[in-house]
A and B are shown apart, each in its own frame.
Chain A
Amino acid sequence: MDNTKRYERLRERYMNGDLSRRNFLGLLGAAGAAYGLVTPYRAMAADVTEVRFDGWGGVVSEALRANAFDPFENETGMKVVDGTFGGGDEYLSRVKASQPGEYNIAHLSGVFDYARYHNLGLSSELNEDNIPNLEFVIPKLIDVFRGVTDGKLSCVPYDYGTTGLAYNRKHISDEEMQEKGAMILLDADRKGKIAGWSDWRTRMWYAALQTGQSPNDITDVEAAWDAVRQHRDLSLKYWGSGAELMSLLAEEEIHVTEGWSGRIYALQEQGHDIGYMDPPNGFGWQECMFVIKGSPMEACEELLNFMLAPETSIAVAEGQNYPPALDPNKVDLGKKIPTLPAFDPNGTLENLTFADPGYWNGNEAEWAKTFGRVQKGY
């Protein structure tokens, strides 16, 4: 019996004199409370009418809304409620505080985020038979996720990109960037015109490059922190979102920072003379659409399959400026995607260095805390 019918019957009994006013109000209150308690779990019920998606906002959200969610809503009648977050850490705290089923699909970055969610017991198990378009995805991108979740999948890979060096060509030449690489972020002559992402992983990754170490195996941690401190002293600001990154570069508040390949491409498309380069061992990452435990699985799988369909995936990739996870050996990716930064025409992704999830998550507690202090002048 649905709630409307239940309320109508209660009202009828009250009007007929079968119930006292006090009992009627009491039962009404109890029904309301029960409805409120049950609502978060309704996502698990069979008659799902909407799915919640959370992503990075900005051009990424716009691309998903226009090319994936709107067509999906038109085709299936199911609604996609999309929200945004500034970073994976911030979103994870929201999920941790939520009721099961409240958040459904998240656009996570990096395998280490996937592993973190899994370690916190937030992973689900996808029925891959419901996502036939998974066959178009680069196998290497899928395999790393399977490795974390015992051969199963809690997400589908969706795109990849790099966090490389972005610079204003009016002030820094391509030649200088090639010569200095990651060391440009420690150039004392550019004090006050340098910035960086307020993310401990990115800071340590670039510190590893600046101190001649392997990002996935930093042996001299103190030297790396010294490099982070040196960068902090030269920086104008740590940026916290893609919108802030684009604004700082476009407004010429800063001349150089590391930046996300797709956002920098978007700036270039807007006509800003911003250069972009991936230094050797630059930070490569793959993004996935992660289904959170407690979500309506079939509805989520239907949406993911729709999003992975080559026509949808290519349109989203062209909008958000990150190459799709689709294998170029199996799918014709059109004209624009091969021009995007970080694009790998071979589909092997051998030229990109990804973060080792075990290594980075093992250091997460200590390094995130230390960076919080270093960031503030300590």
Chain B
Amino acid sequence: MSVEAREKRQPWILLSPALTAITLLLFIPLLFILVYSFWLRTATGADEVGFYLDNWREALTDAFYRDILLHTLRIAAITTLLCAVMGYPAAYFIARSKGNKPVLLLLLMLPFWISYIIRTMSWINILGVSGALNTFLLWIGIINEPMQMLYNEATVILGLVHFLLPFMVLNVFVSLDGIDETLEDAANSLGATRWQSFLQVTLPLSLPGLAAGGLLCFVLGAGTYITPLVLGGTSDAMFANLVFEAIITQLNWPLGSALSLMLLAVLGVLVMIYNRYLGMAQLMKGLG
């Protein structure tokens, strides 16, 4: 084999383990889901193999799915916004702290050591009628009767923010940590106040990190189903709950497949828009 031919083959050889893994773990399962979405569920719960468009027609034309999808995107957007507002100062504080940065980062990672479900359920003990907050408020006499704080949209958003905030902080931190602090000093020496130098130098330079964090929070938030299940009330279901119900409760795998691909497509479009304007490089940095 000529040197030229060997050089041409080398990237493919090096890429082959990753490509094999992606093919086996991502594309083939996705292909199965795609094929399933064209089957039909029969009255007994068994699947009828074939090429039917009924599931897709239902998923795309039924207002019920559209409404829940919009509700899901709205909840994910609010959650992302709150994560950005709360996460940026925290990331800034960590990035600018001098000696204890590793400890602060370790503290940020600590919640990941506890199961997401347990972290979500912990809010029941905090916000419940006999939870810690009501007990405290009753004890200090601010309220006479326990307040009903759980099982509404606010608690769903709270649970999502609790889960997603570290992702935002990490991404913004990576971005802020990479900014040369002497740039702020330069702005200050040219007469800018600290606030002006932050607004005109630091913030614009950290926007890619903020956007990457935002994308992660949005995508993860839009795909969640545990939080609305545990902390939501009767009308707080999100799109992933529909997929869960179709597949698990109704044993309608074909419809569940169509719905899950629909959610994947919507989130995929958002990622493509992000990539078009901001690029994926910053996201990779944040994840790394």
Alpha-carbon separation in the docked complex, A372 to B232 (Å): 15
Q: CB-defined interface of B118-135 with A at 8 Å, one 1/0 digit per residue?
A: 000000100011110000
Decide yes or no whether A76 CB sits under 8 A from chain B. no
Q: What chain A residues lie within 8 Å of B234 (beta carbons)?
A: 232-233, 235-238, 375-377
Q: Could you say which of B41, B233, B249 has the most chain A C-beta atoms within 10 Å of its C-beta?
A: B249
Asked, given contacts A116-B45, A236-B148, A252-B129, whether A373 binds B64 with beta carbons under 8 Å apart, the answer is: yes
Decide yes or no whether A365 CB sits under 8 A from chain B. yes
Asked, given contacts A119-B44, A375-B234, A376-B235, whether A368 binds B129 with beta carbons under 8 Å apart, the answer is: no
Q: What chain A residues lie within 8 Å of B41 (beta carbons)?
A: 365
B233 touches A369 (CB 8 A): no
State how many angstroms separate the Cβ of A65 from the closest Cβ of chain B. 23
B44 touches A372 (CB 8 A): no
Decide yes or no whether A120 CB sits under 8 A from chain B. yes
Alpha-carbon separation in the docked complex, A290 to B41 (Å): 24
Decide yes or no whether B43 CB sits under 8 A from chain A. yes
Alpha-carbon separation in the docked complex, A87 to B250 (Å): 12
Residue of A nearest to B65 (CB): A373
Alpha-carbon separation in the docked complex, A192 to B129 (Å): 12
Alpha-carbon separation in the docked complex, A328 to B66 (Å): 55
Alpha-carbon separation in the docked complex, A119 to B46 (Å): 9
B151 touches A237 (CB 8 A): yes
Asked, given contacts A192-B148, A253-B128, whether A119 binds B250 with beta carbons under 8 Å apart, the answer is: no
Residue of A nearest to B237 (CB): A376
Interface size on A, residues (CB 8 A): 33
Q: CB-defined interface of A225-255 with B at 8 Å, one 1/0 digit per residue?
A: 0000000110111101000000100011100
Q: A residues 348-378 with Cβ under 8 Å of B?
A: 362, 364-365, 368-369, 372-373, 375-378
A372 touches B242 (CB 8 A): yes
Decide yes or no whether A179 CB sits under 8 A from chain B. no
Q: What chain A residues lie within 8 Å of B248 (beta carbons)?
A: 89-90, 93
Residue of B nearest to A117 (CB): B45
Q: Could you say which of B64, B237, B246, B248 has the most chain A C-beta atoms within 10 Å of its C-beta?
A: B248
Besides the known contacts A93-B253, A376-B237, 19 further A-B residue pairs in the complex with CB atoms under 8 A apart: A87-B249, A89-B251, A96-B253, A121-B46, A232-B235, A236-B233, A251-B130, A252-B130, A252-B146, A253-B128, A253-B129, A253-B148, A362-B43, A365-B41, A368-B250, A369-B250, A372-B242, A375-B234, A375-B237
Task: Provide 21 A-B residue pairs closer than 8 Å at the C-beta atoms, listed in order of the A residue.
Answer: A87-B249, A89-B249, A89-B251, A90-B249, A116-B44, A116-B45, A119-B46, A120-B44, A232-B235, A233-B234, A237-B151, A237-B232, A252-B146, A253-B129, A253-B150, A364-B43, A364-B45, A365-B41, A369-B250, A372-B246, A375-B234
